[in-house]
Amino acid sequence: MIQKPLLLSLIASLAIHSLAHAATYTLQPLEVYSSPLHNDELSAADAVEIYTQDDIEKAHVQNVYEFLNQQTSLVAMPSYGNPFTQKIDMHGYGIGDGYENIVVILNGRRLNNIDAVPQLLSAISPSSIGRIEIIKGGGIVRAGDGANAGVIYITTKQENVLELGLYAGNNNTFDGSLYAGYADDLYSITAHAERYLSDGVRTVDAQKNRAKQALKNGGITLSLTPTDALELSVDYQTTRLKSTYGGPLTLNEFLEDPSQAGSSSSSKQAYDSDAYALSLAYDITDALQLSVTGSREDKESRYLTYSSVAQYTYDSVAATLDYRNDALSATVGLNLFNGERDGYGNNTSKENRAAFLLTQYRLGDHTLKAGYRYETVDYSYHDADKRLRDDETLHGIELGYNYRLSAERSVFAAFSHAYQAPDIDRFFNFGGTFNGFIKPMTTDTLTVGYNAITSQNKFKVSLFYVNVDDEIYYHADPTFVNAKNTNIDASYKYGLDLYDKFLVTDTFHVSINYNYVKAIIDKEIESAENYSNNELPGVPNHTAKVMLSYLPNDHMTLSLLHTHRSSAYAANDFNNRFVQEQQAYRSTDITLSYLQGHYEFFGKINNLFDQKNGLWIHDDAIYPLNASTTFIAGLKVRY
């Protein structure tokens, strides 16, 4: 194994011996591709984060979760130790249930599940991504059920290129990826594939068996343009993963060696997914476009440890009619979704039906946005003994205003009334018995912000306040007697998001991503426990990510990233009185890349200073995450 002082010396030597002047690099407002309203970062009436293909490629991440955790304002943590199904959080909804308040959309297809399984972002190879856009505090009108904290839009790239990527690292980690694209006036075709293997960072039992991970991703997209006005596309994506992961550690075990198996048992999961999509885009006139997408996803989750199997079928249709002229943009749409899970001794389904209208009017330096969504949700549950049904009617509203102060500066204000209908696991007690249907949660979010984008500096700051009714959570009684899914009567959140990228010189850049959030339980009594005025557990008040980038010439980039998250209450500590807290998270990561013609060589070290990071569920229940130094080195070939 290469010692860290030696590795740092090698990196420093490479930088010192590359003193040619770097190419000029400038900043500019990026267009918001995920919205049909045709705004850029300066004219949008929302808090927006945009990451381009170039940002993703330069990060040299092993998966999408790593990119979100290191480069964006979001937090991602393995779900009870499983690195392939991680939980994401934004705006203080908590690492426990926050992911259910974020809608993730890949090429128009929702990745949110109908049960408590997090969005499977492992199914997206970083090498296939063209763009990530994050709408913070908004997006309910188009994205629907669950868009309380916001929406993540991910689109895959469409390039006429052949790209091969290989890397290897410690813990016997290997990854190979392939992307190929071709386009002409009549058709385009893209294909990608990825194979990932790792022994994992932990042992999982007394026999020293490892937390092995195996992943296969692949996909192909074919688009036809028989006329200038018509495009037809067919898409297929597949994922096969197997994950072995360890149980929680006690505090003494964690401090002694976070890579050990500990006294808890391990888990094994296999997950298969096949997704198919057909889409049509037709320009009726220069100002009017019709888009229709239909998709089906077949999934199977097998927990080999417990010999349990669940099969899922998701069918969806989305149709929009978009209108645009110089002043007015409008979108009217329909969303139909039916999700069914067959397993665990029952058949349960969730069916969403929605219609929406989103409009925007631009008058000089003023931009006004308004939108409304009407959505119904129908649940069905049946097992050997009973058949039950429930339904909800929900309403989403968005209002926004943007004022362009100058060519480089703007202010905005946005309001969103959003909702989350419960996932189907919320209707079950511990052990799988049916406990009844619970209320949907609703949120009112107010965001105000300021943007300033020059060729040398991109600065964004926004303040938000969220009022929440019936926030959904799991009451985790340690005895399991009173454990159940239920609602917090009233709660609220407020905070600040700040982003600044500053080109100090042509060769030295600084990026800062800072977030402050406070999440308070206003009113809640459960099992004679009064949680009123407590903080929502699993929500750090401060998160800061600082990146220093050095570009000594046209070929080399050296980046140093430090991430800090402050301590918080453990994920189940709604009473705010556990002995152990969620400790602060710290990681320093360094990346070096060298590009020469068609070839790029890169190396990356995560957690350079070997910090012991973990996820605290309750006292002496700690899941290690990024708890030791890891590294990869690899090669990309691009033609």
**What is the structure's pLDDT at 5?**
43
Q: Amino acid identity of 410?
A: S
The residue assigned the tokens 């096949």 is 274
Three-state SS for 127?
helix
Please check whether residue 333 is in contact with residue 355, taking contact to mean a CB–CB distance below 8 angstroms. yes
Q: What average pLDDT does range 605-623 have in this prediction?
A: 96
Q: Is the pLDDT of residue 13 over 70?
A: no
The mean-pLDDT minimum among 3-7, 52-56, 149-153 falls in 3-7
Backbone torsions φ then ψ of 582, nearest 5 degrees: -65, 115
Distance separating alpha carbons of residues 524 and 539, to the nearest angstrom: 18
Distance separating alpha carbons of residues 92 and 90, to the nearest angstrom: 6
Total length of the chain: 639
Identify the band that residue 479 occupies on the pLDDT scale cut at 50, 70 and 90: low
Name the β-bridge partners of 231: 281
In order of 36, 137, 296, 445, 562, the CA distances from 330 in angstroms are: 8, 21, 28, 23, 42
Average pLDDT, the chain: 92
pTM, full prediction: 0.94
Please check whether residue 125 is in contact with residue 194, taking contact to mean a CB–CB distance below 8 angstroms. yes
Q: Is the pLDDT of residue 584 over 70?
A: yes
Backbone torsions φ then ψ of 256, nearest 5 degrees: -70, -50
Q: What share of the chain is helix, strand, coil (3-state, %, to 5)?
A: 10, 60, 35
Q: Which of 219, 95, 208 is nearest to 154 (CA)?
A: 219
The residue assigned the tokens 């009334």 is 417
Three-state SS for 8?
helix
Three-state SS for 251?
helix
**What is the structure's pLDDT at 59?**
94
Distance separating alpha carbons of residues 167 and 532, to the nearest angstrom: 50
Backbone torsions φ then ψ of 255, nearest 5 degrees: -70, -35
Identify the band that residue 544 occupies on the pLDDT scale cut at 50, 70 and 90: very high
Distance separating alpha carbons of residues 476 and 49, to the nearest angstrom: 34
Q: Is the pLDDT of residue 4 over 50?
A: no
Distance separating alpha carbons of residues 78 and 87, to the nearest angstrom: 6
Percent of the chain scoring above 70 in pLDDT: 95
**What is the structure's pLDDT at 11?**
42
Distance separating alpha carbons of residues 322 and 291, to the nearest angstrom: 8
Identify the band that residue 18 occupies on the pLDDT scale cut at 50, 70 and 90: very low
Q: How many angstroms from the chain centroid is the CA of residue 91?
A: 13
Q: CA geometry: angle at 635 spanning 630 and 637, to 5°?
A: 150
Q: What average pLDDT does range 236-255 have in this prediction?
A: 96
Percent of the chain scoring above 90 in pLDDT: 84
Alpha helices in 445-557 (DSSP H): none
Identify the band that residue 306 occupies on the pLDDT scale cut at 50, 70 and 90: confident
Please check whether residue 355 is in contact with residue 331, taking contact to mean a CB–CB distance below 8 angstroms. no
- pLDDT per position as a tens digit, 282-295: 999 999 999 999 99
- pLDDT per position as a tens digit, 340-358: 999 988 899 999 999 999 9
- pLDDT per position as a tens digit, 166-199: 999 999 999 999 999 999 989 999 999 999 999 9
Q: What average pLDDT does range 122-147 have in this prediction?
A: 96
Q: How many angstroms from the chain centroid is the CA of residue 548?
A: 24
**What is the structure's pLDDT at 405?**
98
Integer-rounded Cα radius of gyration of the chain: 24
Q: CA geometry: angle at 156 spanning 153 and 161, to 5°?
A: 155
- pLDDT per position as a tens digit, 419-429: 999 999 888 77
Q: What average pLDDT does range 129-136 have in this prediction?
A: 96
Q: Is the pLDDT of residue 15 over 70?
A: no
**What is the structure's pLDDT at 21?**
40
Identify the band that residue 431 occupies on the pLDDT scale cut at 50, 70 and 90: low
Q: Amino acid identity of 198?
A: S
Domains and CATH numbers, the chain: 4-638 (2.40.170.20)
Burial 20-32, CB ≥16 within 10 A → b, else e = eebeeeeeebbeb
Name the β-bridge partners of 270: 242, 302
Q: Which residues, at least 6 apart from 218, have a Cβ–Cβ distance to it below 8 Å?
A: 191, 192, 193, 194, 237, 238
Q: Which of 310, 317, 396, 308 is nearest to 351 (CA)?
A: 317
Distance separating alpha carbons of residues 496 and 515, to the nearest angstrom: 6
Alpha helices in 299-382 (DSSP H): none
Q: What average pLDDT does range 559-583 have in this prediction?
A: 96
Retrieve residue 61's tokens.
């991440």
Q: What average pLDDT does range 11-22 have in this prediction?
A: 40
- pLDDT per position as a tens digit, 27-71: 999 999 998 888 999 999 999 999 999 999 999 999 999 999 999
Q: CA geometry: angle at 234 spanning 348 and 120, to 5°?
A: 45
Q: What average pLDDT does range 348-371 have in this prediction?
A: 97
Q: Amino acid identity of 341?
A: R
